[in-house]
Every structure is written in C-alpha cells, then in structure tokens.
Chain A
Amino acid sequence: MSTAIDIRSVVKRYGTTTALHSVGFEIGDNEFFTLLGPSGCGKTTLLRCIAGFEDVSEGQILLFGQDIAGLEPNLRPVNTVFQQYALFPHLSVIDNVAFGLKMKGMALDARRARAGKMLEMVHLSAFADRMPAQLSGGQQQRVALARALAPEPKVLLLDEPLSALDLKLRQAMRVELKSLQEQTGITFVFVTHDQEEALTMSDRIAVMSQGRVQQIGTARDIYEGPVNRFVADFIGETNLMEVDVTAISDGMADVILPGGHALRCPAAATTPGRHHLSIRPERVSLADGGEVTATVERVVYLGTDVQVMTRLPGGVPLSLRVQNSARIAIPAPGASVSLHLEEGAARLLAD
C-alpha cells in the first residue's frame, strides 16, 4: 500500500496554546482513516493543516511524496466536507456540486452532467434545482459530500460530517459513506468523537488526546489492545484498577488482582511495579467455581444486556456485562459471586 499522506512531527501552536504536539503518522492510499478523540484534542486543527487553511508551526506534511508546505488550498488535490457543510447559500444544489468542476475549468455541459451523476450517487437527483436552505440536514450533508467528491480529489477530509444527524440517519450514512469510499477508492480522513462510528467504518484509527496521538491501529487492535488508560477508557467501557506486577516478559505480565488472585495477561507496560489494568466487562462472566470472588453491589438492566456491578475484596469496583438470557440467573445485590475472566479480558496498560 502506498502512502497518501505522510505527517511528520507536526506541531501547531496558536499563540501560547499548542494544539498539536509532534503528531506523526502515515495514511495509506485508499484507506479509510479515522481521527478519533474528545472535543478540543486537535482533530480539526490537523485536518485544517492538511487542507491548507493553517500553516504548521513545525514539521512537514507530505501528500503523495510532495511537501505541501506553503501550497495554497486551491492547489491541493484534497477536498473537505466541513462540519457545518458550508454549502454556498446563494447557489442551487447542482451549482454547489459543480462549483469545484467550474473552478477546474470544466465546460458547462460537462460539469452539469458530472454534478448530476454525483447527485444521483447520493440519491438527490430530484433536488438539483433547490437552494441549500430548502433541504433537510441529512440532505445538505449529502450535497456537501457530492460537492467534495465531484472534482475527484485524491484525498477527502470529513470533519464530523454525521454529528448533526439523528441516530437512524447517521447509521444509514455510515454504511453509505463506507461503500462510497470503497467504490471511489479515494483516501478518506474521517474525524469523529464518536467511538462507535470510528469502530464500525475505519480501516485504521488514530486515537488523539490533548494534541497527541495516543494509539494507531485497526478497530480490533485498539479495542482489544489499548496501550494506555486514556485509550482503554475512551474506547468502549472498561474497568480500570491499579495492580502489582511481579514479572513482565515477551509482552506478558504476571499481575496480582485485588484480593490476591494471580493472573497472566498481555501487557503494554515493560517494567514490573504498579500499573493500571484494564478489564473489559463483556469478557467477565458469572461462573460457579470461577477464580475471582466478588460481592454484587448493583444490577442495572440494559435490555439486551444486564450490567452487574460488583466489588472485589478491598472494595475495588469491577463491573461485568451478562447477556439477558433465561439461562443465566442474575444475582441479587449483596450476594457473593465467583467470576471468570475470559481469554483477553485483562490487559496491563503502559500508563
């Protein structure tokens, strides 16, 4: 896989605040790459640096091997779907979609035909002559997508494009976006703070926090092998607890759980001592004769699942998810239960 975007130690400062601290990674050609992180972590800033609306303070960005420092936005083969769509309010839908083609010098008939095709692709052919203000949020979002895709950019940047949509539409658009990316073969850089969105669509995800990339990997890599507390906590649900580590070798650690049970699990940390352990609630089960004993504190009914909140000896909380099935008896608060940690339930974090 060749590299579409090579981000090399990019630092971006606004006055005294630093929005990006030495961010560096590569995005492959044809990849669906997601930047995931909480509000204010620098996702938009990084996109704006790639699009050319901001200059980087330090470092370099290479687009297909070419350093794009100082290149005006209109000279970059990159298009953006803006967070608030930014459809031109005085132009009709078709003229919005054809705008990029017009700027590239395409003749009227040709660009109208291509814009029409793009509208067909996003199922909006019937709306070609409407003004943007006459469309619903979801329709505007699709026009913004068609407008950005029409000039056939090599890279498409999408800044939380689904955040303004309701749940049903958002789920439908996820599928559409993903298949669109596969059809066109364009590299997508997708920004979101919604972990579910990131997990379901991306080839790879970069988890960001406070201007730093915390971890890069596939959805499975990141969910099942978080390197630090931030990632483990941000992606999905987890139990975090401090544990003693007696030995680490070959990426496996021997840890002592609160209550004294010894456990061997994968580790991101490399030195023994006191570290944080992440235990995924859905990998813990109620089992007679399980290796860990705990006391049930609260039971929360979630529909398909039941969340059982327990405390280990020493008062350390551990919650688990049990399928809501007739075959499984849900214990009552106050009961003492024994628990089984499945393969991959626990992982020792680096910090």
Chain B
Amino acid sequence: MKGVRHYPGFLGITIACLVVLYAPLIVVTIYSFNDSNSITSWGGFSWRWYADVFTGPEADRFAAAAWNSITIAFLAATASTAIAVAAALAMIRGGRFKGKSATYALINLPLLVPEIVTAVATLIFFSTIGLTTGYLTILIAHITFCIPFAYLPIAARLSGIEETYEQAARDLYATRAQAFWLILLPLLMPGVISGYLLAFIISLDDFIITNFVKGAGMETLPTAIFGSVKQGIKPNIMAISTLMLAVSVLFVTLSYLVNRIGQKTRT
C-alpha cells in the first residue's frame, strides 16, 4: 500500500497546519523571555517578565486569579470525576434501563453545544433561580461542563474491564462496596486519573462560560489575562501565558502517560 506521504501536496498541507497551530505558541514562548518592553522586537534573554508576574504591579491581581483558578479546577475536577465514575458505572454496568440512550446523549451533549450558548443559558439559569454570580456559580458551571471530559476516559477504561473481576470478588465474599473499592476502582484508576487531569485542565483553561457567570470583581486566570490584554499587550502576559501553557502540557502529558500505563496493565 502507498503510504499517506505519497499523496500529492501532503507535505505542504501538513507544514501549513503545523505552522498555523504552533507558530503563535512558539513565538509567545520565546518572547516571554524578551528583555525589552516591546512585544515585537527582541532585546536579549531575560527572566524579567516572569519576575514581573510574581512581583510587579499586577502581581496581586494575578495571584488572586490564579488562586481562584486552581481551587476551582481542583474542586470541579474532583466533583465531575466522581459524578463521571457514577455515570460510567450506570451506563456500562447498569444493564438495560429506560432512557439509556437519552442519558448517554445528555452526558456528552456539552461537548457539542456551542460554548457561548451554554454560557448564556447558564447565566440565565443562575439569575432565574436567584443565585448571585461569583465563585460558587463559576464552580457549579465548571463541574457541569467538565463531566463529559472526565466521563470519556473513565467509560473507555470501564468498558475494557470484564465484569468477571467484580463477580470473582463477590464470589469470594466481598460485598458490593468492597468489590468496588478493592477491585474495580484500582482497575479503573488509569481512566479516573486521566479523566481527572483532563477535567482539571479544561476547568483551568475555560474563558467563555467563566466570563459570563463570574460576576463583578471575581477573576480567574483566563479572565484576568483577557482583562489585561484589553489595555494593551504587555510582555508579562506572554510570561503568564507560557506558564499556563506549561501546566497544560504537563497535565495532558500526564494524562496520556497514565493511559498508556493503563493499557499495559489491561488484562
């Protein structure tokens, strides 16, 4: 068979895509180490904008926003992973039940609905029930849209685990709860960790929905960065973006590695 490389224009299209996707990231990363006030001309290597992020005039604002982002990501990932595990158990181990396909659609719908629609709808929902926007509303919204991201790797892993392991545990005098905690959960762990990391990064990264439901005076890192950029792009934004990029890459890599280890332990 002819390899994909032999299709005419393959190389050109590939390079074009890679450039469009990654060149901006590379430029931002490089210029975050720029020793000049300009964002376009190179003035030599320096850590000054990283220092500026942590000690400069905007440091307090960024610190508060980072704290919000990280705690929300932590809580949202934890809650959505727990919900996703329960949902996966119901969908994959629950046998047939009424409305199963509808439930499946419901779990995964947030992946398809345009984020702006979700954002507007969520805001309307919160104001209808009279919940003042702030930390709590961001958290609730994040838990909700993180569920499908946590669900996918967990469900994939669970459908690869044969039911006989749980049955063997039950056969050996384990209660339902013991069979879950001692046998199924350890086997499911690679999926759970992978789902958790994905949910964490999705929450950390979210801008549109957060911006709608955050309320006045409340910032997460993405909204804080957006706020700063509106007053003109300073190199410190590049530094903070690079930091977020590093965290994202780290988490996605971890998620990938955990999944790969999981595949090796699959029996």
Question: Is B208 in the interface zone, CB < 8 Å from A?
Answer: no
- Residue tally, chain A, CB below 8 Å to B: 25
Question: Is B193 in the interface zone, CB < 8 Å from A?
Answer: no
Question: Is B37 in the interface zone, CB < 8 Å from A?
Answer: no
Binary flags per residue of B226-267, CB closer than 8 Å to A gives 1, else 0? 000000000000000000000000000000000000000101
Instruction: Report yes or no: B170 in contact with A73, Cβ–Cβ below 8 A.
Output: yes
Binary flags per residue of A119-147, CB closer than 8 Å to B gives 1, else 0? 00000000000001100000000000001
Question: Is A86 in the interface zone, CB < 8 Å from B?
Answer: yes
Within 8 A of B (CB), among A46-101: 51-53, 72-74, 78-80, 82, 84, 86-90, 99-100
Instruction: Report yes or no: A103 in contact with B267, Cβ–Cβ below 8 A.
Output: no
CA distance A73 to B167 in the complex (A): 8
Residues A104 and B173 in contact in the complex (CB < 8 Å), given A89-B267, A90-B187: yes
Measured between beta carbons, the chain B residues less than 8 angstroms from A72 are 170, 175-176
Measured between beta carbons, the chain A residues less than 8 angstroms from B187 are 89-90
Instruction: Report yes or no: A86 in contact with B168, Cβ–Cβ below 8 A.
Output: yes
Measured between beta carbons, the chain A residues less than 8 angstroms from B82 are none
Question: Is B165 in the interface zone, CB < 8 Å from A?
Answer: yes
Binding site for B on A (CB under 8 A): 51-53, 72-74, 78-80, 82, 84, 86-90, 99-100, 103-104, 132-133, 147-148, 151
CA distance A78 to B178 in the complex (A): 18
Q: What is the number of contacts between chain A and chain B, taking CB atoms within 8 Å?
A: 65
Binary flags per residue of B151-182, CB closer than 8 Å to A gives 1, else 0? 00000000000101101111111111010000
Measured between beta carbons, the chain A residues less than 8 angstroms from B167 are 51, 53, 73, 80, 82, 86
Instruction: Report yes or no: A79 in contact with B172, Cβ–Cβ below 8 A.
Output: yes
Of A73, A79, A86, the residue contacting B165 (CB under 8 A) is A86
The 6 closest A-B pairs by CB, nearest first: A100-B172, A103-B173, A86-B164, A86-B168, A73-B170, A89-B267
Instruction: Report yes or no: A88 in contact with B170, Cβ–Cβ below 8 A.
Output: no
Measured between beta carbons, the chain B residues less than 8 angstroms from A84 are 162, 164
Question: Is B183 in the interface zone, CB < 8 Å from A?
Answer: yes
Instruction: Report yes or no: A88 in contact with B175, Cβ–Cβ below 8 A.
Output: no
Interface class of chain B by DSSP: helix
Residues A133 and B267 in contact in the complex (CB < 8 Å), given A103-B173, A103-B174, A151-B173: yes
CA distance A53 to B265 in the complex (A): 26
| Closest chain A residue, CB of each to CB of B267 | A89
- Minimum Cβ distance to chain B for residue A55 (Å): 12
CA distance A52 to B162 in the complex (A): 17
Measured between beta carbons, the chain A residues less than 8 angstroms from B164 are 82, 84, 86
Instruction: Report yes or no: A90 in contact with B265, Cβ–Cβ below 8 A.
Output: yes
Given contacts A74-B174, A100-B172, 14 further A-B contacts (CB under 8 A): A51-B167, A52-B171, A53-B170, A78-B171, A79-B171, A84-B162, A86-B162, A86-B165, A90-B186, A99-B172, A103-B174, A147-B172, A151-B172, A151-B173
Q: List 13 A-B contacts (CB under 8 A).
A: A51-B167, A51-B171, A52-B171, A53-B167, A53-B170, A74-B172, A86-B168, A88-B169, A90-B187, A90-B265, A103-B173, A132-B267, A148-B171
- Minimum Cβ distance to chain B for residue A186 (Å): 15
CA distance A64 to B267 in the complex (A): 36
CA distance A132 to B265 in the complex (A): 11
CA distance A303 to B187 in the complex (A): 50
Instruction: Report yes or no: A80 in contact with B173, Cβ–Cβ below 8 A.
Output: no
- Minimum Cβ distance to chain B for residue A136 (Å): 14
Of A82, A90, A133, the residue contacting B168 (CB under 8 A) is A82
Measured between beta carbons, the chain B residues less than 8 angstroms from A86 are 162, 164-165, 167-168
